[in-house]
A = this chain, B = another copy of it.
Amino acid sequence: MKIGIVGLGLIGGSLAIDWRSLGHTILGVSRRPSTCEAAIARGIVDRASCDLALMAEAEVVVLCTPLGAFLPTVDQLLPHLSPETIVTDVGSVKGWVVEAIAPRWENFVGGHPMAGTAESGLDAALTGLFQNCIYAITPTAHTPSRAVEVVTQLARSLQAQVYKCDPQDHDRAVAWISHLPVMVSASLIASCMDEESATVRSLAQTLASSGFRDTSRVGGGNPELGVMMARYNQAAVVRSLQGYRQQLDAILQTIEASDWDNLETLLGQTQRDRPAFVDPA
């Protein structure tokens, strides 16, 4: 199969590596000529170009640019394609992506391979990135079943676990488990830095160990990624933050009221609930 990859970064490059090793022909598009050259030199793609016209030959086109570049890219891409070409994407938000693209392209299937590393860019692309990861696919009632089937098979061929879900449900779910944690964790760092006593702040930095390290990790990550989550999944992120704030207030009130039985009940419940998220059956 001829597969077009638009955007040769960590995800696009890693998809290209795995699919090419399975015998597919990979056509890559990047804005930068140097990235095209590097992708060819490393054997990541068969051919590469800065011109989206290269996608005319592809049977499946995968949008792998940052979310902010999706709409202008699609505007330029679609005129090159024949109607049976399947278009999919790897964006971490699905609601507005599906709403924006599906009405303009019948054979569009939203996708979200949930993999990554701390690195970005083509240099970070690697073999087997998606192995055992979840690959969410978000067809609608109108998505042609052949397109869903092709994207599903391509995802499975990466040894990813495919989950089909509604785009809005996807966005609400990732707001809870991916986007909210970033805001929660960033607020932790910011509030510690707000401590007015320099002595206490410095002591906190000295005494911080694994608990702080883990809880603050995602809040100390790439700020552009955090903005992207909030911007493109705004409604679901606001909803999650509001729900979170209620829980935080409930804990604060319980502690202020010295209601230790209730606090123990609450913390006992979170202890029992966590494994469903981190140790899926």
Contacts and interface: CB of A to CB of B under 8 A. Distances in A.
Interface stretch (A81-89, A98-106, A177-185): A177-185
Interface stretch (A6-14, A59-67, A139-147, A208-216): A208-216
A146 B180 CA distance: 51
A172 to B, nearest CB: 5
Interface stretch (A17-25, A37-45, A119-127, A261-269): A261-269
| A contact residues, range | 35 or more
Interface stretch (A27-35, A48-56, A149-157, A221-229): A221-229
Given A249-B245, A263-B226, A217 B215 contact: yes
Contact of A277 (B181, B216, B242): B216
A208 B277 contact: yes
A204 B243 contact: no
A75 to B, nearest CB: 22
The 6 closest A-B pairs by CB, nearest first: A220-B274, A223-B267, A173-B203, A181-B215, A208-B277, A189-B270
A194 to B, nearest CB: 6
B217 A214 contact: yes
Contacts of A195: 172, 176, 243
Given A224-B264, A255-B230, A270-B190, A212 B244 contact: no
Interface in A159-207: 163, 165-166, 169-170, 172-174, 176-178, 180-195, 197, 199-200, 203-207
| Identical subunits present | 2
B172 A205 contact: no
A69 interface: no
A173 B200 contact: yes
Contacts of A165: 203
A199 B163 CA distance: 13
A186 B258 contact: no
A218 B184 CA distance: 14
Given A209-B134, A213-B278, A252-B238, A189 B231 contact: no
Given A170-B203, A191-B246, A195-B243, A211 B181 contact: yes
Contact of A177 (B169, B211, B275, B280): B211
A278 B208 contact: yes
A73 interface: no
Contacts of A180: 188, 191-192
Contact of A231 (B170, B219, B243, B258): B258
Contacts of A186: 251, 266-267, 270
A107 interface: no
A246 B190 CA distance: 10
20 contacts: A114-B207, A166-B199, A176-B192, A177-B204, A184-B187, A185-B215, A191-B243, A191-B247, A192-B273, A194-B243, A211-B218, A212-B277, A215-B215, A223-B267, A226-B263, A226-B264, A230-B260, A231-B258, A241-B251, A245-B245
